[in-house]
Structure 1
Amino acid sequence: MGGMSTAADTTTDPRATARSAENHPTGTTAADTGADRRGLPAVLLAVAIAAAALNLRPVVTSLGPLLDKVRADLGMNATVAGLLTAVPALCFAVFGVAAPALARKAGPIAVVTAGMGAIVLGVVTRSFAGGTALFLLLTAVALAGVAVSNVLLPVVIKRYFPDRVGPMIGLYSMSLSAGTSLAAAVTVPVTTALGGDWRAGLGVWGLLGLAALVLCLVTLLLRREKGTGGRAEQGAARLPIRRSRTAWALAAFFGLQSTSAYAAMGWLPKIYQDAGVSESASGVLLALVMAIGVPASFVLPSLAARRGDQRLFVVVLGLCGILGYVGLAFAAGTASWLWAVLVGLSMCAFPLALTMIGLRARTPGGVAQLSAFAQSLGYLISIPGPILVGGIYGATGSWYLPLAFLAALLVPQILVGMRAARARHIEDEVPAEAPAAG
C-alpha cells in the first residue's frame, strides 16, 4: 500500500543502512524484488499502493458526519452508536492478525487486492442494510479488508521497493491521510448533492474502492507473484516475534500514537467549541489537523529512513503533542490554529511508526510478522483511550484533566518510541525457528 540493486547487510553501519533503506534484504529473491523485471512498471505498482491507501479510512470517516441520519433511519440506539467508535480499532486488531498467514499462501498483493474487494463489498452493501445488525456486519466486512491492507501494504513496499522504503511509506501514508481528510470533508456536500440520502452518501465511496480494486487486479495479473512463504523466506515467516523487545516497543508506540490520534479526531471540535470557537470554525480547525498530515506524511518517512535511527523524530513529535495539548487546555480560543498545527504534527507519529516497521526487519516475511504484531496489539491498546477521555470530561465538566491525560500519555510514547527507533533488526534479537519438514 525503483531501482533495486543488491547490497550487503549494513546493520553495523546505521548511516549506510538508512541510505540504502534496507537494500535487498536477506532472503528476498531477485524475482521478488524485480517489480520491473516481469513487465510490471514500478509506477503502476506505486499508483496501486497509493490508490489502496486512499481507501483505508473513508469507510470510517465518511460515517461520522452522517451518523445521526443513519441512527434515525435504522433505529440505532445511542449505546450501539457509541460502540461504533471502537469497532474500527477492534476489527483492525482481530483481522490484521491473519494477514501474514494469508500473504505466505497467496502473496501480499493478492491479499491486498482481496482486501480492496472486501472494502467495496462492505461499503456498497451496507448502504442497502435495513437494520442495525446487518449494517454493523457489513461495516465489519469492509473493515476486515482495511485491516489486512493496513498490515500488508508496508510488506508490499518492503518486498518490491527495498531501497525506497522511506519515499514509498511516505506515498502510502500521505494517500491514507488524504483519504481520511477527503471523506471527512466532502461526505456531507456529496450526500446533499445526491438528494440528502445517507445511503447514497456512504455508498458512493465504493466507487473509490472500485478504482483501487481494478488497479490492484491489473497489478496482480501482471505480477503473478508468489506467497512470502517460499524457501528463501521461511526463516522470516517463523520468527518468534513475541520475544523481540523491539517488536513490543513498536506495538506500544503504535498503540499510544493511535490513542492520541483517535482521541484528538473525536474530541477536538468539542474542545474548541467549549472554548468559544464557533461550530464551523472548529470543523475547519479539525480539517487543519488532518491536512497537516498530508504533506508531512510524505516528507517524514524519507527523512526518517535516511538516519540510522529515528529517535530524534520520536522526541520532536512527542513534544509537539505535549505543547499542543497544554495550549488547548489553557488557551484553546487563543492562537487556535497554532495548537491545531502542533497536534497535527504530533499525529505524524503514525507514518513514523510505519517507517520503523519497514526498517526494523530484514525480509518482507519479517516485516509482515512485525507489522501484524505491532498494528494488531497497537490498535487493541488504543481502544480505551478515547472512551477514557470522554469519561474524564463527563466526570469533571472541563477539558483540563482529559488534556492532561493525553499530554501525559505522550511521555511513555516517547520512551517506548526511543526504544523502537534504535537502528537494529528484530532478526538480531530472536533467532528464526527451523522450518517445518517438507
Structure 2
Amino acid sequence: MSDEPQTQIQQIRLSPPAPSGAPALTRSLSRTPSASADSPGTRLGPGVWLTRLLVVGLVLAALNLRPAITSLGALLEEVRDGLHMSGSVAGVLTSVPPFCFALFGFAAPRLARRFGPGAVVCAGMVAIMAGLLIRPFAGGTVGFLAASAVALMGIAVSNVLMPVIVKRYFPDRVGTMTGLYSMALALGTAAAAAVTVPMTEALGGSWRTGLGVWAVLAALAVVPWLGLVRDRSAGPSSPSPSHAAPVSAPAPASGLRLGRSRTAWGLACFFGLQATGAYITMGWMPQIFRDAGLSAGTAGLLLAVTMVMGVPLAFVIPRTAARMKNQGPIVIALGLCGLSAYAGLYFAPAEGAWLWAVLLGISNCSFPLALTMIGMRSRTGAGVVRLSAFAQSTGYLISIPGPLLVGVLYQHTGGPELPIALMATFLLPQMLAGVVAGRDRTIEDEARMRD
C-alpha cells in the first residue's frame, strides 16, 4: 500500500519485565542489562536516555489529548452565551472533535512515512498549543471553530500514532505502555474537567482565559518530542547491550485489505461507538447535571469524577486485556456499567449523581481497551499502523452524528431525557462490535484464511 510507513525506526531493547507498580515500571524502562543508572561510575548510553525521553514524551503528549475538549465542556454554557450559539450550533461544536480526528487521522500514516512518527507527534503538540492559544480570542463562532480544528488536528495525528510508537519501541510491553499513556490521558481529561471552572474564576472569570491557559500544558509537551525528532537519524551503528539497536521498519503489509476484515471493522465500530459516548459525555454531561439543578462547579467536578476513573483503570485494563486471549468479557462488563449509569441519569440524575459519574467513568474505559486491542490484532508494526489509522479514522467518522444529534434533541425537546436514551441505545451495538474485535485472531490470520 502506498501509505505504509517506510522510515527507519529504533526499537528499544528492554530488560525482562519488572514487578508491577509505577517505580518498577520506571526502572525497567530506563535500565539495560549491562548499564544501571544507579551503578557507580556507569554512564548511561544513548539508548537509555532515548527510552526515558520517550516515556516522558508519551506521558506529556497523552496529558494533552483531551483538555481541548473537556475544558470546553465545562464552560459550554458560557461559550454558547459569549458566542451567541444555538443548541444545534453547539451540537456541531461538540461534533468537531470526531470529524477532525477522522479527517486528519487518515493522513497520519502518510505523514509518519515521510517525516517519522516522532516528528509528526511533535508537530501535533505544536498544533495543539497554537489552537488552544488562538481559539478563545479568534472572535466569533467561525474563528473559534477554525482554531479548535487546528488543535484537534494535532490531537488526531497523535491519537493514531501513539499505539504505533508503543508497538515499535515497546513490543514486549504493549499492555503496560498503553496503560501508562492511557492513564496519563485520563488524568489530563479529568484535570481539565475539574479545574477549568475554578481556575477561570481565579483568573478573573473570563471563559476566554480559562480555555486559553491550557496552551501552557501543550507547550511543555513539545520539549521532549523535539529531542526525539533530533534523535530520529541518530543511533549507534551496531547494537550493543547498553544502546538502542536500530532496526528497519517492518515490511509493508500490502496484502492486507482491512475493508474485508471482520476484526478491523469490529474494532472500527467499537472504537467509533465508544468515541460517540465519550464525546457526548465530555460535551454534554455537565449540562445534563446543571439541568438537574446542580451548580456549574459541581457539574464540572462530576465530569472530572467520570474522567478520573480512567486514571487507575486505564492502567489496569490494558494490562489485564493483554494477558487475555479474548477481550469480550471486559467489553460486556464495561457496557453494563454504562447502561446502569444512563438508567440512573434518566430516572434520578441529581440524587445519585456521584454514583452515575463513577459508573460512566468505568464504562468510558472502553477507550484504552480499544487501543490495546489495536496493538494486539496485528503481528507487525506495519499492520498496527494501518489498523490504527483504519480503526480510529473510520471509528471517528462513525461517531460524528452522535454529539450533533444530541444537540438537536436538546434544542427541540428542552430536556436531557431523549439524549440519555439515545446514549444508552448506542451501547448495545458497541458491546456487539467489541465482542467481535476481542476475538483471538489477527488481521494477518484473516488475510491467510481468505487466501
**CA shift digits 1:292-343 (9 cap, x unpaired):** 1111111111111111121110111111111222222233344332222211
Between 70-79 and 146-155, the greater mean CA deviation after superposition: 70-79
Q: Number of residue pairs matched?
A: 401
Which of 345, 353, 362 is the matching residue for 1:328? 345
1:218 aligns with 2:227: yes
Match of 2:68 among 41, 59, 78: 59
Q: Answer yes or no: is 1:137 the counterpart of 2:154.
A: no
Shifted more, 204-213 versus 80-89: the winner is 80-89
The match for 1:296 among 304, 307, 313 is: 313
* Among 392, 397, 401, the residue aligned to 1:384: 401
State the match for 2:211 in structure 1. 202
Residue matched to 1:252: 269
Aligned pairs for 1:159-308 within 5 A: 159-224=168-233, 233-236=250-253, 239-275=256-292, 277=294, 280-308=297-325
Q: Per the alignment, do residues 108 and 144 of structure 1 end up closer, same or farther by CA in structure 2, a change over 3 Å counting? A: same
Choose the corresponding residue for 1:417, options 427, 430, 434.
434
Cα–Cα, structure 1 residues 166 and 380, in superposed 2: closer, same or farther, change >3 Å?
same
**Cα distance between partner residues in 2 of 1:353 and 1:272:** 28
* 2:373 equivalent in structure 1: 356
Q: Distance between the aligned counterparts of 2:231 and 2:89, measured in 1? A: 44
Q: Is 1:90 the equivalent of 2:99?
A: yes
Give the Cα separation in 1 of the matches to 2:90 and 2:414.
22
What is the alpha-carbon root mean square deviation over aligned residues?
3.0
Verify the 8 A CA contact 1:107 1:225 in the aligned structure 2.
Answer: no
1:311 corresponding residue in structure 2: 328
Segments of structure 1 that go 5 or more residues without pairing to the other structure are 8-35, 433-438
Contact 1:361 1:425 in 2 (8 A): yes
1:24 counterpart residue number:
none
Following superposition, the deviation at residue 37 of structure 1 comes to: 6.6
| Residue of structure 2 in register with 1:17 after alignment | none
Query: Shift of residue 71 of structure 1?
Result: 5.4
Letter in 1 for 2:116: G
In the alignment, is residue 110 of structure 1 matched against residue 119 of structure 2? Answer: yes
Decide whether the 8 Å contact of 2:119 with 2:229 is kept in 1: yes
SS of equivalent residue, structure 1 residue 233: coil
**CA-CA distance at 1:6 after TM superposition:** 12
1:408 equivalent to 2:425? Answer yes
What is the aligned-residue identity percentage?
Answer: 57
> Are the aligned partners of 2:249 and 2:381 in contact in 1 as well (CA < 8 Å)?
no
What CA distance in whole angstroms lies between the structure 2 residues aligned with 1:326 and 1:427? 40
**Residues 214 and 377 (structure 1), Cα distance of their counterparts in 2 relative to 1, 3 Å cut:** same
Tell me, in whole angstroms, the C-alpha distance in 2 between the residues paired with 1:206 and 1:320.
34
Q: 1:271 to 1:39 in 2, by over 3 A?
A: closer
1:307, 1:250 → 2: CA distance?
17
How many angstroms apart in 1 are the aligned matches of 2:314 and 2:89?
33
Cα drift, residue 426 of structure 1: 0.8
Instruction: Give the aligned partner of residue 160 of structure 2.
Output: 151
Residues 277 and 423 in structure 2, CA contact (< 8 A), matched pair in contact too: yes
- Asked whether the equivalents of residues 257 and 413 of structure 1 are also in contact (C-alpha less than 8 Å), the reply is yes
In structure 1, C-alpha distance between the alignment counterparts of 2:284 and 2:222, rounded to whole Å: 33
Q: 2:55 aligns with which of 33, 42, 46?
A: 46
Query: Which 5+ residue runs of structure 2 have no aligned equivalent?
Result: 1-10, 17-44, 236-246
Partner letter of residue 285 of structure 1?
Answer: L
Assess, with a 3 A threshold, how the Cα gap between structure 1 residues 390 and 86 changes in structure 2: closer, same or farther. Answer: closer
| Equivalent AA in structure 2 for residue 375 of structure 1 | Q
Cα drift, residue 131 of structure 1: 4.2
Aligned equivalents of 1:166, 1:220: Cα separation in 2: 25
Contact 2:72 2:283 in 1 (8 A): no
1:110 counterpart letter in structure 2: A
Distance 1:83 1:408, change over 3 A: closer
For residue 333 of structure 2, what is the amino acid of its counterpart? V
**2: CA distance, partners of 1:90 / 1:396:** 25
8 A contact 1:262–1:386 mirrored in 2 = yes
Task: Tell me how far apart the structure 1 counterparts of residues 290 and 206 of structure 2 sit (CA, whole Å).
Answer: 28
Moved more, 380-389 or 358-367: 380-389
* Residues 366 and 344 of structure 1: CA distance in aligned 2, closer, same or farther (over 3 Å): same
CA contact (8 A) 1:116 1:212 kept: yes
Deviation at 1:423, TM superposition (A): 1.4
2:135 to 120, 123, 126: 126
Paired residue type of 1:382: S
Q: Deviations over 1:78-121 (max 9, x none)?
A: 65444211111100000000001111222211111111111122
User: Deviation string for 1:369-412 (max 9, x for gaps)?
Assistant: 11111111111111222333444455556655443333232221
Q: Check whether the contact 1:240–1:431 (CA below 8 A) recurs between aligned residues.
A: no
Q: Tell which deviates more after alignment, 48-57 or 386-395.
A: 386-395
How far apart are residue 274 of structure 1 and its match? 4.8
Residue equivalent to 1:14: none
Q: Note closer, same or farther for the CA distance 1:236–1:204 as it changes in structure 2 (3 Å cut).
A: same
1:275 Cα deviation after fit? 4.7
Please, which moves more after superposition, 191-200 or 283-292? 191-200
Moved more, 288-297 or 75-84: 75-84
Letter in 1 for 2:97: P
Change (3 A) 1:68 1:410: closer
Aligned in 2, Cα 1:430/1:411: closer, same or farther, shift over 3 Å? same
CA contact (8 A) 1:357 1:371 kept: yes
Assess, with a 3 A threshold, how the Cα gap between structure 1 residues 87 and 397 changes in structure 2: closer, same or farther: closer
SS in 2 for 1:163: coil
